[in-house]
Amino acid sequence: MKKQLTDLQRSVYVFMREFFAENDQLPTVAVICEKFGKYPNQIHELQLALMKHGLIERNAVHKFKFARVAV
């Protein structure tokens, strides 16, 4: 059984989805840092947590993308 997302993880994920919908790309770490008032290493840890939950993944050049969901 996987743990639930924390409020911060959920907020960052929702922000990433909204940013993507508006800009057709994921926000940079700097943009997320500015939005949430966090340091880059904290955002990196949040991104790793989202990876562990299967919500985002890395592409061939190690940039984050939303995970594909099997239909």
70-28-51 Cα angle (round to 5): 35
State residue 62's pLDDT score.
75
State residue 2's pLDDT score.
61
For 1, 52, 70, the CA distances from 16, given in Å and listed in that order, are 25, 16, 21
Counting residues of the chain whose pLDDT is more than 70, the rounded percentage is: 92
Check pLDDT > 50 for residue 1. Answer: no
Q: What kind and span of H or E run contains 41?
A: helix 40-52
Q: What is the overall mean pLDDT for the chain? A: 88
Residues with Cβ < 8 Å from 8, sequence gap 6 or more? 36, 46
Question: For 19-52, how does the pLDDT look when each residue is reduced to its tens digit (9 = 90+)?
Answer: 999 999 899 999 999 999 999 999 999 999 999 9
